[in-house]
């Protein structure tokens, strides 16, 4: 019987066959794709450099044998090869005139990027091809080689990797690890014991202006460590560097763009054992001080500015001006807050308008609080030595530092690279000081002092740079930089309280010095245009160039003294906020007086530098001879108006100098160098040192006055260094140096009709000489657990003598002595443990600076010395998973006191507490 249901047999069979065919095809695709999936790829990037000089080698061809992948190095020596099979690979690098090199064992991560720099040796030196391992090659082309082994002169460098392993929060803390470098006041650097006038600072190769009113120096604490690529310290002069350094030229390099996209975040919290959660003097905040911007109420009132020097001003106008001041005078008691900072960085390379553009955007923010505990200040004088001004108190400081970089770079073809580097940093220090006790010889009863200060600084730099590879291997580099710095100290208050027989304190309101308000503003702008041209004449390398730098600075310093007359004894006991709240400055009142103090004024400085140089480099076997000269013409015009003068005063300074240099570098084998350098440099007076008006300091401290007769100094330099680079990250060196100064500029005290004041003079002559050693060594030769340890020690022992002269201006206690700021020794040491596989490391750092003069005395007052202070810091970090890291920092573990002594007394003494912080970093795709 026929089944009534329709039959679908053929269709079902056809469907089954179709599904089977699809399944078979899918299986075949999977089988075919399996080798492709297993053959994951990554990228290789890096730089190709000359093994002898460290210069980039454009057009070098880098290939991966057997993978049909290759790339050519650009003008900066960078190359990137994509689509490289993951795993261990080899690179073959070729360039006409250089020996071919093959690097083996380059580990390429799947989906990631391996970094491998390569150094090539000239074919005239190495004829046969070379094969080396990746590990060995990384040791020969590390940043230490680029910055030190291949440098023309004597150079030391601190890199981003070293900074990351330390607890250093800014460039000032990072650079003090360099041999022979000391940091004063936490921000100003001295190299080989020489003052800051002998050190110049540049950002990405271009000179930075100074945001300080009284010195031409860059405070290094303005640069957060998270924005730094490296800090390089050149200690010998070559003609392509500015001639006005004799101690060091420090170049701060901001972050370079990475070869692969990177995004990172970091944050940390910490505390200071002396300040956090403790009572401390503070000042009332205004405006956006957490962003380092003072509020508008701190600005000099228009009603006060309009009255000029207050001469012949009617009482009604004085009263109106007094009411315009902010009624804030005395510190308050607050509580120190935790320390906090955070930052981010974003970088990589992306196509834009048909070009690959490298970029890095980075920013950071930090706030901190410090309390100077047990602060003692005094002035000593006489023979026998006695204390004439003595104070005991404490100072609270709240600081903010933030900044960012935005750097772009692109290659135009294989012969041009353009870079645009932008930086803006801003900082503020809010300081409150309160003395619990004080003595002054002019008063029969105890006195007290207080002051409130808010100082904000900023640095902006915009720089366009270009590198061109021209015909026949010629190279042209040029740059244009616009930079600006500011420093404002709006509405500083200084008070002096005097006690009566009953122990009650009242403001000293009769002389105009017991209640003061001060305002200072600084703006400095500079334009720098420079070019360098390099070419070869056979084996002779010629480098020449020129520079124009225009700097304009304007400074306005104003100080006002308040006096009150005709009050009762009880009224004089009122607080400053009551005395000056306007009740004694009402219309018709004649109790209050305001005067322009005799200190301060305004000046404008117009500084022009024109420079040109020629430098020749000739290899003779293993000897490299580098010589040449630089010519610098200096034009400085200053117009100044002291506050108590009705007319401006004009000063002009002109100099043209030829500065020669000769360096001999012997290559004593593959890893050793011997360097000899002789040169002549100069040191110019700083703007504020030339302006002859008085600058007043807190009552009881020494005031300062400029000297318009200063002239530039000449310095002759001799350096000899032997250095050895035995392995990756290892250095052994010893150096001898000597300097002879003609007419060096030195700070001295001079006696006046009142108290002594500080000034600067050209002394007769000085000499400075010493020995500098550095050792960086792996401890793996000790075996066992030591294979993960590295240690370093650098030490500088120095001696200087200065013959001051100037018998007509100053009767110095000691006219034949060390130079001011010259320490007899500096020692830095560190121990690092690192486990690269686990991403963990720990670093212990030590620093001490020998006893040095900070202020000279006038007979019979002794010189003032800063005593040695032992500093110990510690940092440990570990990776938490693939993207997270943790870091614990401990600074100032010994909490040794800061001390200045004179005649056996502590002229200044305080401690600042220990600082601990815990941070987290997040970097996806690590």
Of 55-69, 235-249, 556-570, which one has max mean pLDDT?
556-570
In the predicted model, is pLDDT for residue 423 greater than 60? yes
* Lowest mean pLDDT, pick from 215-224, 420-429, 896-905: 215-224
Looking at residue 803, what is its pLDDT?
A: 79
Cα separation, 183 vs 185, whole angstroms: 7
Cα separation, 484 vs 424, whole angstroms: 10
> What SS3 state is found at 332?
strand
In this prediction, residues 588-603 reach a mean pLDDT of 84
Looking at residue 10, what is its pLDDT?
A: 44
Of 8-17, 158-167, 356-365, which one has max mean pLDDT?
356-365
In the predicted model, is pLDDT for residue 812 greater than 60? no
Q: Which two three-digit tokens encode residue 912?
A: 């600042």
Per-residue pLDDT tens digits for 344-393: 888 888 887 777 888 889 888 999 999 999 999 988 877 788 888 899 99
In the predicted model, is pLDDT for residue 437 greater than 80? yes
Q: Higher model confidence: residue 127 or residue 335?
A: 335
Of 27-41, 97-111, 123-137, 601-615, which one has max mean pLDDT?
601-615
In this prediction, residues 65-89 reach a mean pLDDT of 82
Q: Higher model confidence: residue 32 or residue 859?
A: 859
In the predicted model, is pLDDT for residue 147 greater than 80? no
Give the DSSP H/E element, type plus range, for residue 138: helix 134-140
Asked if residue 272 lies in contact with residue 336, where contact means CB atoms within 8 angstroms, the answer is yes
In this prediction, residues 302-309 reach a mean pLDDT of 85
Looking at residue 212, what is its pLDDT?
A: 72
Give the number of other CB atoms < 10 A from CB of residue 844: 18
Q: Is 922 exposed, middle or buried (0-12, 13-18, 19+ CB in 10 A)?
A: middle
Looking at residue 210, what is its pLDDT?
A: 74
* Lowest mean pLDDT, pick from 328-332, 345-349, 664-668, 674-678: 345-349
In this prediction, residues 457-467 reach a mean pLDDT of 93
Asked if residue 841 lies in contact with residue 877, where contact means CB atoms within 8 angstroms, the answer is yes
Per-residue pLDDT tens digits for 481-494: 999 999 999 999 99
* Lowest mean pLDDT, pick from 79-88, 696-705, 856-865: 696-705
Looking at residue 25, what is its pLDDT?
A: 47
Looking at residue 193, what is its pLDDT?
A: 67
Give the DSSP H/E element, type plus range, for residue 32: helix 9-38
- Whether the full predicted model's pTM is greater than 0.85, yes or no, is no
Q: Which two three-digit tokens encode residue 719?
A: 């350096």
* Residue 613 confidence class, pLDDT cut points 50, 70, 90: very high
Q: Which residues contact 472 (CB under 8 A, 6 or more apart)?
A: 535, 536
**Of the candidates 651, 676, 653, 655, which has an alpha carbon nearest to the alpha carbon of residue 664?**
676
In this prediction, residues 512-536 reach a mean pLDDT of 93
Looking at residue 11, what is its pLDDT?
A: 42
* Lowest mean pLDDT, pick from 94-103, 468-477, 621-630, 867-876: 94-103
**Of the candidates 262, 405, 417, 407, which has an alpha carbon nearest to the alpha carbon of residue 355?**
417
In the predicted model, is pLDDT for residue 268 greater than 80? yes
Of 268-272, 294-298, 805-809, which one has max mean pLDDT?
268-272
Q: Higher model confidence: residue 498 or residue 160?
A: 498
In the predicted model, is pLDDT for residue 625 greater than 90? yes
DSSP, res 97: T
In this prediction, residues 744-753 reach a mean pLDDT of 72
Per-residue pLDDT tens digits for 848-873: 989 988 877 767 778 889 999 999 99
Query: Which pairs count as long-range contacts for 875-881, CB under 8 Å and 24+ apart, including other chains?
Result: 875/165, 875/166, 875/167, 875/842, 875/843, 875/845, 876/840, 876/841, 876/842, 876/843, 877/165, 877/840, 877/841, 877/842, 878/838, 878/839, 878/840, 879/838, 879/839, 879/840, 879/926
| Phi, then psi, of 163 in degrees rounded to 5 | -65, -40
* Residue 780 confidence class, pLDDT cut points 50, 70, 90: confident
> Mean pLDDT in the chain?
84
Of 57-66, 359-368, 807-816, which one has max mean pLDDT?
359-368
Asked if residue 287 lies in contact with residue 237, where contact means CB atoms within 8 angstroms, the answer is no
**Of the candidates 923, 856, 865, which has an alpha carbon nearest to the alpha carbon of residue 898?**
865
Determine the straight-line distance between the first and last CA of the chain, rounded to whole angstroms: 75
In the predicted model, is pLDDT for residue 260 greater than 50? yes
Q: Higher model confidence: residue 75 or residue 623?
A: 623
Burial 855-877 (b: 16+ CB within 10 A, else e): bbbbeebbbbbbbbeebbbbbbb
In this prediction, residues 719-733 reach a mean pLDDT of 87
Looking at residue 490, what is its pLDDT?
A: 93
Looking at residue 385, what is its pLDDT?
A: 81
C-alpha distances (whole Å) from 568 to each of 500, 504, 656 are 14, 15, 64
Cα separation, 749 vs 760, whole angstroms: 8
Asked if residue 812 lies in contact with residue 859, where contact means CB atoms within 8 angstroms, the answer is yes
Looking at residue 764, what is its pLDDT?
A: 85
Looking at residue 814, what is its pLDDT?
A: 63
Asked if residue 39 lies in contact with residue 89, where contact means CB atoms within 8 angstroms, the answer is no
In this prediction, residues 598-608 reach a mean pLDDT of 85
In the predicted model, is pLDDT for residue 177 greater than 80? no
In the predicted model, is pLDDT for residue 9 greater than 60? no
In the predicted model, is pLDDT for residue 546 greater than 50? yes
Asked if residue 860 lies in contact with residue 881, where contact means CB atoms within 8 angstroms, the answer is no
**pLDDT over 90, % of the chain:** 40
Beta bridge partners of 349: 358
In this prediction, residues 437-444 reach a mean pLDDT of 88
Looking at residue 713, what is its pLDDT?
A: 92
Per-residue pLDDT tens digits for 788-799: 898 989 899 999
* Lowest mean pLDDT, pick from 66-70, 504-508, 575-579, 838-842: 66-70
């Amino acid at each position: 019987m026929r089944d009534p249901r329709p039959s679908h047999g053929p269709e079902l069979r056809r469907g089954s066959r179709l599904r089977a065919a699809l399944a078979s095809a899918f299986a075949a695709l999977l089988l075919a794709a399996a080798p492709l999936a297993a053959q994951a790829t990554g990228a290789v990037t890096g730089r190709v450099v000359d093994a002898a000089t460290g210069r980039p080698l454009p057009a070098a061809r880098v290939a991966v044998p057997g993978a049909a992948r290759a790339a050519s190095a650009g003008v900066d020596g960078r190359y990137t090869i994509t689509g490289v099979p993951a795993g261990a690979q080899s690179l073959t690098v070729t360039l006409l005139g250089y020996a071919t090199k093959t690097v083996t064992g380059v580990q390429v991560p799947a989906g990631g990027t391996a970094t491998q720099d390569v150094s090539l040796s000239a074919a005239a030196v190495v004829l046969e091809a070379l094969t080396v391992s990746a590990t060995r090659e990384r040791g020969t082309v590390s940043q230490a080689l680029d910055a030190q082994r291949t440098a023309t002169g004597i150079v030391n460098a601190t890199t981003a990797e070293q900074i990351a392993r330390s607890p250093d929060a800014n460039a000032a803390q990072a650079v003090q690890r360099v041999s022979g470098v000391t940091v004063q006041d936490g921000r100003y650097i001295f190299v080989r014991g020489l003052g800051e006038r002998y050190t110049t600072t540049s950002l990405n190769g271009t000179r930075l202006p100074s945001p300080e009113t009284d010195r031409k120096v860059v405070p290094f604490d303005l640069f957060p460590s998270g924005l730094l690529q490296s800090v390089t310290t050149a200690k010998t002069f070559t003609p392509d560097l500015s001639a006005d350094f004799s101690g060091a030229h420090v170049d701060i390099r901001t972050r370079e763009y990475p070869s692969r996209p990177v995004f990172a975040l970091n944050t940390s919290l910490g505390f200071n054992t002396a300040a956090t959660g403790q009572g401390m003097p503070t000042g009332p905040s205004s405006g956006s001080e957490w962003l380092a911007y003072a509020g508008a109420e701190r600005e000099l009132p228009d009603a006060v500015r309009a009255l000029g020097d207050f001469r012949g001003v009617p009482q009604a106008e004085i009263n109106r001006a007094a009411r315009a001041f902010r009624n804030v005078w005395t510190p308050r008691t607050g509580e120190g807050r935790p320390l906090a900072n955070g930052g981010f960085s974003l970088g990589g390379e992306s196509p834009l308008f048909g070009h690959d553009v490298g970029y890095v955007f980075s920013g950071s923010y930090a706030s901190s609080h410090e309390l100077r505990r047990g602060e003692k200040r005094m002035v000593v004088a006489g023979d026998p030595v006695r204390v004439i001004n003595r104070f005991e108190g404490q100072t609270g400081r709240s600081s903010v530092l933030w900044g960012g970089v935005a750097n772009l770079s692109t290659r135009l073809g294989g012969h041009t690279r353009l870079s645009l580097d932008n930086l803006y940093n801003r900082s503020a220090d809010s300081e409150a000081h309160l003395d619990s006790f004080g003595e002054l010889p002019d008063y029969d009863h105890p006195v007290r002092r207080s002051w409130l200060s808010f100082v904000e600084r900023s640095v902006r730099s915009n720089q366009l740079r270009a590198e061109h590879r021209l015909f026949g291997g010629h190279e042209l580099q040029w740059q244009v930089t616009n930079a600006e710095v500011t420093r404002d100290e709006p509405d500083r208050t200084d008070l002096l309280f005097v006690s009566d027989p009953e122990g009650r304190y009242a403001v000293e309101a009769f002389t105009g010095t017991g209640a003061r308000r001060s305002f200072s503003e600084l703006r400095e702008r500079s334009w720098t245009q420079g070019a360098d041209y390099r070419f070869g004449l056979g084996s002779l390398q010629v480098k020449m160039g020129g520079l124009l730098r225009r700097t304009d600075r304007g400074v306005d310093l104003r100080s006002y003294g308040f006096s009150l007359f005709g009050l009762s004894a009880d009224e004089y006991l009122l607080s400053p906020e009551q005395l000056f709240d306007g009740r004694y400055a009402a219309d018709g009142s004649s109790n209050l007086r305001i005067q322009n103090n005799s200190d301060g004024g305004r000046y404008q400085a117009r500084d022009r530098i024109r420079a040109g140089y020629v430098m020749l480099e000739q290899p003779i076997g293993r000897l490299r001879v580098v010589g040449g000269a630089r010519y610098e013409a200096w034009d400085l015009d200053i117009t100044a108006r002291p506050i108590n003068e009705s007319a401006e005063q004009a000063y002009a300074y002109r100099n043209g100098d030829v500065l020669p240099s000769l360096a001999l570098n012997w290559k004593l084998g593959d890893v050793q160098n011997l360097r000899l350098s002789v040169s002549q440099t100069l040191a110019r007076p700083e703007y504020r040192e030339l302006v002859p008006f008085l600058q007043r300091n807190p009552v009881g401290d020494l005031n300062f006055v400029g000297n318009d007769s200063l002239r530039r100094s000449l310095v002759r330099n001799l350096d000899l260094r032997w250095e050895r680079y035995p392995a990756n990250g290892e250095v052994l060196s010893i150096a001898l140096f000597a300097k002879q100064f003609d007419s060096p500029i030195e700070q001295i005290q001079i006696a006046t009709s009142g108290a002594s004041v500080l000034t600067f003079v050209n002394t007769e002559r000085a000499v400075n000489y010493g020995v500098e050693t550095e050792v960086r060594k792996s401890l793996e030769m000790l075996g066992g657990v030591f294979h993960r340890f590295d240690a370093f020690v650098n030490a500088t022992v120095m001696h200087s003598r200065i013959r001051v002269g100037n018998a007509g201006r100053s009767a110095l206690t000691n006219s034949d002595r060390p130079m001011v700021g010259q320490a007899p020794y500096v020692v830095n040491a560190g121990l690092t443990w690192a486990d690269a596989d686990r991403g963990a490391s720990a670093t212990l750092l030590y620093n001490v600076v020998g006893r040095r003069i900070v202020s000279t005395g006038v007979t019979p007052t002794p010189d003032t010395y800063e005593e040695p202070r032992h500093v110990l810091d510690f940092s440990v970090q570990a990776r938490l998973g693939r993207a997270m890291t943790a870091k614990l920092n401990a600074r100032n573990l010994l909490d040794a006191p800061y001390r200045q002594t004179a005649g056996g007394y502590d002229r200044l003494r305080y401690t600042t507490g220990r600082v601990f912080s815990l941070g987290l970093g997040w970097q996806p795709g690590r």
